[in-house]
Amino acid sequence: MSAKAIREYHGKKLVSKWLSHYSNSVRYDLEDRAILITPSSIRPEDPNSFDALTSENPWLLETRLVVKPDQLIKRRGKAGLLAINKSWAEVVEWIKERMNKECKVEVVSGILDHFIVEPFVPHAQTDEYYICLQSFRGNDEVLFYHEGGVDVGDVDAKGVRLSLALGEAPTKEGVTNALLQLVPAKRRDYLSGFIVALIKLFRDLNFVYMEINPLVMTDDGRITPLDMAAKIDETANFLNHTQWGALEFPAPFGRAEFPEESFIKKLDQGSGSSLKLTILNQFGRVWTMVAGGGASVVYADTISDLGFGHELANYGEYSGAPTLQETYDYARTVFSLMCRHKDPRGKVLIIGGGIANFTDVAATFTGIQKAMRQFRDELLESKVDIWVRRAGPNYQEGLKNMRITADELGLPVHLYGPETHITAVVPLALGLRDARDYPEFDANAENRGTMASLAANNSKEKDEKEPTESTEDAAAAAAAAAAAVNRARSQAVHKHAVADLTPESRAMVYGLQSVAVQGMLDFDFMCKRSKPSVACMVFPFSGNHYTKLYWGTEETLIPVYTTVAEAVAKHSDVTMMINFASFRSVYETVQEALKFSHQLKTIAIIAEGVPESQTRQIIKDAADKGVGLIGPATVGGIKPGCFRIGNTGGMLDNIIMSKLYRPGSVAYVSKSGGMSNELNNIIARNSDGVYEGVAIGGDRYPGSLFLDHMLRYNDNPEVKMMVLLGEVGGIDEYALCDAIKSGRITKPLVAWVMGTCASIFPYEVQFGHAGAMARGDLETAAAKNAALGAAGAHVPRSFDAIGEKIYEVYADLVEKGVIVPKPEPPTPKIPMDYNWAKRLGLIRKPANFISSISDDRGDELTYAGMPISECIQEDIGVGGVLSLLWFRRRLPPYATKFIEMVLMVSADHGPAVSGAHNTIVAARAGKDLVSSLCSGLLTIGPRFGGALDDAASMFMTAVDEGMDAATFVKTMRVQNKLIMGIGHKIRTLTNPDMRVKLVKEFAQKHFPMTPVLDFALSVEQLTTKKKATLILNVDGCIAACFVDLLRNCGAFEISEANDLLANGCLNGLFVAGRSLGFIGHFIDQRRLKQGLYRHPWDDISYQTAL
């Protein structure tokens, strides 16, 4: 969503704070005192309590006041929600009587919980004015009337207007001449200056709508906006967040935000995907989980058109390849809400969506299946009937897995793929059609029948309504009003802004989008183009290089440049730029491309969320330079057999299914990118296929309009009929009505405008795209559908019937000989990408590496199957992590504590030992940390550190062979072997090594049994009789204890423990621990700034005579 309403309080604060920045040093006497009362204010201890507010704002006690709710409520005065000329005590009492109470305003009921309090401004009726600022595609408009207030009447008819083209600066003279002729002469200069500053503020802070009624100006020059309604472009947050501050976008009155909605909103903000949820009727029977913005609208429309709008519980979408965790969180949220209130008739859940472009359907279904398992009992108890229709990448696997899950859980789930119309599951789910006429998805034998064969079943559905006469009359009147606005444009178009693509057309891609480019090259190869449609890529964040892609089965190199200028200079055949830049950098990258308008004739802008002010400027600049635009917020477009923009058309299986490898006779324009894939499918199943299709983008101001493309199609002899898929919001469809009536468009047009469900909601609902919101009766889907039908377009009764209508018009053209069906060419073959083929389970290949201890492929890193978040939450420590990664086991706490103790006691043994010495020497030679550490580690072996492995082997073997200590010592002496782990330079039994004491006592206290340690201690008793320093040293103690730990902790079989010891895990413990000390010595030498080490001569015995 782009334009969002803000509270009156915040709107006024923005004006009062920033107006002086735009007033050319003129200081306007603007009333800026106001406070916002929230539910917390009634709590005395709260920082925003009534008492705290008076302490911070003493004027509240000194001034007569006005109070009213600040919750996007219109006509508050007429609803009795305005108190004027009150004392602070009276205001507090008035608020307390209404706070958190339900109130009905016209047909909408809601809870009052936010109030604005301001000074009362005594004034005469003649001091009131009306002003409204609003942005449009090519201009900003100021509507003004010299009278204001609740009884101002129809200002649209009475007011005067000032239109400012983009980039045109407002002037006091222009404002005075256009708006203030009926204002007293003595006020004009001051008021015109204020309006000029307000226009600048409006533009710079990215407001899109601001209505002040009344604007009061008294003779003393004080200006006060008494009542304000404003909307701001949320997508401009990255431009204006400093000026906006903590701006709030409240839900419409009557639709309090549920905690679940807040949760999904927060989830969406932290995701690269699109996650939206609006609760319409928490008691409703019909729930949806729809993938795609456009698809979410047509599902809601169809439910409404079939007479079940009052049962529609929610509106929302999950799209843009959400992760498993995000899909799971979204699904469990919907399931929780759906099962909260029982209905004896049961409930319906529709999991739907269009044909995805790049989202892996099976991957997203995994999250839904996880939620289904969690809520199995609740879903059964609530008698939820689940209907699924999905298509796109890997949909077969997704539907198959969904079937397996449904059977496993015993849930009633009905599954359909792209062979079924996108909304056909709606009447099936609602019991309006016989499900036997619609075979479900069969993973072993997919049903590929055309929808035309079902036309007889679809033609007459119960409860489906044709447009009423009164609706048509209203729409005709609205169309007539809009015709004057659009006629000039429709008659003036001679040269098409967007250039027609040919098999020779080539593009540059802005952004390192290897996957999208590979998809374009695969399409090119399928269509038998002579060379790739992508000539190069531009990526400013790395030097010039080549990226390797495939042309069929052969590899090819695509050059990557850092600037558009270089790309244009080296590829004179490039005429299009496909811009994948982010919404933050779209403006700069397009402006850079427009410098080469002599060569670049079309620019496709993929990014969503481009601020409207930047989009409007891009549109103007492109028009001035004769460059056509597609987007923003578009997937692109496709010309079968010729050219594909980005990811349009989805995966190759969908391109083949929709026959996009060869041209048909039908051209379409859609707002929605996801729905353009659905149109490809619908048109292919009900005609000879698509000639060209474009998704112009879902923003309020797309770079090119429906009319731009429809005129191209109308003038192209290869196009025989056209299809339009519009959306609620905007008036661009009326230009088509006018073009049809005037004869400019002569070819048959099948048209449908999505968003017919909007009329069932008592409050404003933002649909899937930024531009999908009606700003008046003229912009409703119902009015536009009726106007298109009245103009002569072929309008189906609902989107559900658009396939039938296309087939009807196509069959008529075939019968008349306008279309002569051509023989179907052989289906082209295209090599499948290895990674995708493997994901689909079509191929297998032995792995080059095998790893069983960690996995980073999912939503979260796991150690031996344990998510890293659980490792942290359960505080398993370093010992626990080591046990997972080394032993693939979750060892008991005493075991992990022992591991950590070993790491601590073996971390260092001073600077003199060989490992530390080597590390120090390397550090002083200027080597880096890793090199110095390696120098120290390479000394670990039989004479340094390796005693652990050997000691463990000796003691373990003796115990396993049943030796006693005396026999063991005697055997070692006979074999002339040292007993590893026995002996210390200075320590004795009476002067023990504290490390040995700590390790030994811990093991004896916590281990289930210590047979190897006990044996080692008995050996110590014998060896110390020979020499006092032949004690069990720290290496031997650790080794004996570790053998006891592995063998007796219950996690391993004896053979497993022996294998682990044989693989060197004991030596690994020494390496891990001593690395801590070596790193410490490196850092210490660097901190002390020690120079190159040279060993002193007098410490070397030179024996050159040998």
Cα separation of 401 and 1081, whole Å?
56
Give the DSSP letter of residue 355.
B
Supply the residues annotated as catalytic. Answer: 769
Helix (H, G, I), strand (E, B) or coil at 515: helix
Identify each DSSP E strand in 148-262 by its residue range. Answer: 160-165, 207-217, 223-225, 228-233
Cα separation of 1100 and 84, whole Å?
100
In DSSP terms, which residues pair with 510 in a beta bridge? 538, 579
Contact by Cβ (8 Å): 368, 351: yes
- Cα 1032 from chain centroid (whole Å): 61
Closest CA to 863 of 887, 896, 893, 847: 887
Helix (H, G, I), strand (E, B) or coil at 666: strand
**What token pair was written down for 458?**
């679809």
894 sits in which H/E element: helix 893-905
361 sits in which H/E element: helix 361-374
Would you say the C-alpha torsion 84, 89, 92, 98 has a positive or negative sign?
Answer: negative
Which residue do the tokens 């949909």 mark? 395
Question: What are the backbone dihedrals phi and psi of residue 319, each rounded to the nearest 5 degrees, phi first?
Answer: -155, 175
Beta-strand relationship, 506-510 and 534-538: parallel
Helix (H, G, I), strand (E, B) or coil at 415: strand
What spatial distance separates the first Cα and last Cα of the chain, rounded to whole Å?
A: 88
Judge if the upstream peptide bond of residue 632 is cis by omega within 30 degrees of 0: yes
Contact by Cβ (8 Å): 644, 664: no
- The three-state DSSP-derived secondary structure of 528-594 is CCCCCCEEEEECCCCCCEEEEEEECCEEEEEEEECCHHHHHHHCCCEEEEEECCCCCCHHHHHHHHH
Closest CA to 295 of 423, 144, 453: 423
Within 10 angstroms of residue 496's Cβ, the number of other Cβ atoms is 16
Angle in degrees, CA 859, 863, 869, rounded to 5: 55
**What token pair was written down for 1072?**
């891990």
Contact by Cβ (8 Å): 22, 201: yes
270 sits in which H/E element: none
Cα separation of 902 and 908, whole Å?
11
Within 10 angstroms of residue 260's Cβ, the number of other Cβ atoms is 18
